[in-house]
Amino acid sequence: MQVIKYAFQQHGDERGQLVALEEFKDIPFEIKRVYYMYDTGQGVRRGFHAHKSLEQILICIHGSCKILLDNGGEKKIVPLECPYEGLYVSNAMWREMYDFSPDAVLMVLASDYYKEEDYIRSYDDFLEYVKNQESGKAEK
Ligand code: T46
């Protein structure tokens, strides 16, 4: 599994740092939604789902956390600890977010609006979904 991590350009000067993100330039999709999570309790693990179509970029803009990515065949753990780094999370990718520092703010840029029907919330359904996608590809 290839992990795609972006190092965004930092515009730093004596006043500090600034990162600007533009769709199709710094972010590979149209940004239709931004959300962020903070005040995550110690030991909390979030996520536990995949998306059928949604693509996202996860940026821990303050503090740190870890992301588990699982494509149904392989798992990778990606630490996020820099406000200028973004992790691309494709569709059909199981994700779990954990090990949040008390000050962590995890911001997410999403390619679509919130749609409950895009979520795959059961791991067994996710494995089935990946299997069907792969057999669909093989038939083409
Ligand atoms: C994902 C990971 C990284 C909304 O009303 N609108 C929204 O855009 C979102 C994202 C959530 N919600 C509501 C739905 C739930 O009642 O906020 C509540 C918490 O959402 P959820 O339990 O889905 O949060 P996470 O942290 O498990 O997952 C979220 C995203 O939902 C998901 O797409 O990839 O962050």
Cα–Cα distance between 7 and 4 in angstroms, integer?
Answer: 10
pLDDT at 140 over 70: no
Average the pLDDT over 86-98 and give the result: 98
Ligand 1 center to 15 CA (angstroms)? 34
pLDDT at 139 over 90: no
Average the pLDDT over 29-42 and give the result: 98
Record the pTM. Answer: 0.96
Confidence class of residue 102 from pLDDT cuts 50, 70 and 90?
very high
In percent, the amount of the chain with pLDDT more than 90 equals 94
Ligand 1 center to 138 CA (angstroms)? 33
Ligand 1 center to 25 CA (angstroms)? 25
Cα–Cα distance between 37 and 105 in angstroms, integer?
Answer: 6
pLDDT at 70 over 70: yes
Residue located nearest, by CA, to atom 12 of ligand 1: 114
pLDDT at 138 over 90: no
Length of the chain: 140
Average the pLDDT over 93-99 and give the result: 98
Mapping DSSP to helix (H, G, I), strand (E, B) and coil, where does residue 44 land? coil
Q: Which of 31, 35, 56 best tests ligand 1's pocket when mutated (most atoms within 8 Å of CB)?
A: 35
Q: Which of 73, 102, 119, 84 is nearest to 9 (CA)?
A: 84
Asked whether 1 lines ligand 1 (CB < 6 A), one says no
Average pLDDT score, the chain: 97
User: Is 24 in contact with 32 (CB distance < 8 Å)?
Assistant: no
Examine the residue annotation and report whether 11 is marked as an active-site residue of this protein. no
Cα–Cα distance between 99 and 77 in angstroms, integer?
Answer: 11
Radius of gyration of the chain (CA): 16
